[in-house]
Chain A
Amino acid sequence: MINVDFIIGHMNYWLFIVLMMTGLYIVVARGNLVKKIVGLNIFQTSVFMFYISIGKVTGGTAPIYPVDSQGHIQVDPSLTYSNPLPHVLILTAIVVGIATTSLALALIIRIREEYDTIEEDDILKIERELSAQDSKAHGSAMGGRA
């Protein structure tokens, strides 16, 4: 018996899983280095979504306490507030994600300058040739990119 309530009630997790798998699939399946980074970003974004969704409290509002004219915090006990902590955590993760992306793109630019391509297959071909040259020059059984 399929429990529809269970499935609908965990909608955020389903979406998170779909996004996460999409991202991971792109990282694995695409040969273009930039597309891999796009996949990595989608993967990371799925985690951001996951965190943000677990911070949501049913009926909760933005967790900002109003301040009166004397500067004292006035908390309205009848209101529920969403949990801000996961949001704050994920702000850090977003910044890390930006740093990773820009570093990866910088590496791709350097790779393109050196290899003249950003397709993984071509890069592998070039590297295999380099390894073959190494092993010819320095003895057998280089192992390649294993």
Chain B
Amino acid sequence: MHHHHIILRVVTKMLVGTIILFAFYVQFHGDFSPGGGFQAGVIMAVAFILYGIVFGLNKAKQVFPAWVVHKLVALGVLVYAGTGVASMLLGYNYLDYGAFNPHHPSHGQHWGILAVELGVGITVTGVMVAIYYAFAGRPPPMKDEDW
């Protein structure tokens, strides 16, 4: 197995970093251009899924253990809902981003949307990778040799 697909393996190693970088770009540039948590999360997950497909599920799980993935799913939702609660604690309505900068509500909205999108990105990454792990981790009904 180790000598198979040498090109795929090399290209993957080169690509994974770039994909993650691009995911961060989409994530944090979402304020100014199309993009945001959903897209970034999926792109980020693609990096790990690609790694898993080429190097095998076990290697991918060494890099990104399943329990971490599950916690990330929950963390993202907490970040999102927590942003709303934070604005509530500051005396504003739920998810009223104006709370984060009372003098310039539009600046506050930048911070608010950044936090919320970060939550979305974390959860989407977690969910996509978790789905991949769940399906790929199932024992196959038939061994490769039996085909």
Contacts and interface: CB of A to CB of B under 8 A. Distances in A.
Direct contact of A and B (CB under 8 A): yes
Interface of A: 64, 67, 91, 95, 102, 105-106, 109, 112
Given A105-B135, A112-B141, 9 more contacts: A64-B34, A67-B32, A91-B38, A95-B38, A102-B131, A106-B134, A106-B135, A109-B135, A109-B138
Secondary structure dominating the interface of A: helix
Interface residues of B, number: 8
A91 B34 CA distance: 13
Contacts of A102: 131
Nearest to B131: A102
Contacts, number: 11
Interface of B: 32, 34, 38, 131, 134-135, 138, 141
Nearest to A102: B131
Contacts of A112: 141
Nearest to B130: A102
A60 B93 CA distance: 34
Contacts of A91: 38
A95 B141 CA distance: 29
A120 B138 CA distance: 22
Contacts of A106: 134-135
Nearest to A91: B38
Contacts of A95: 38
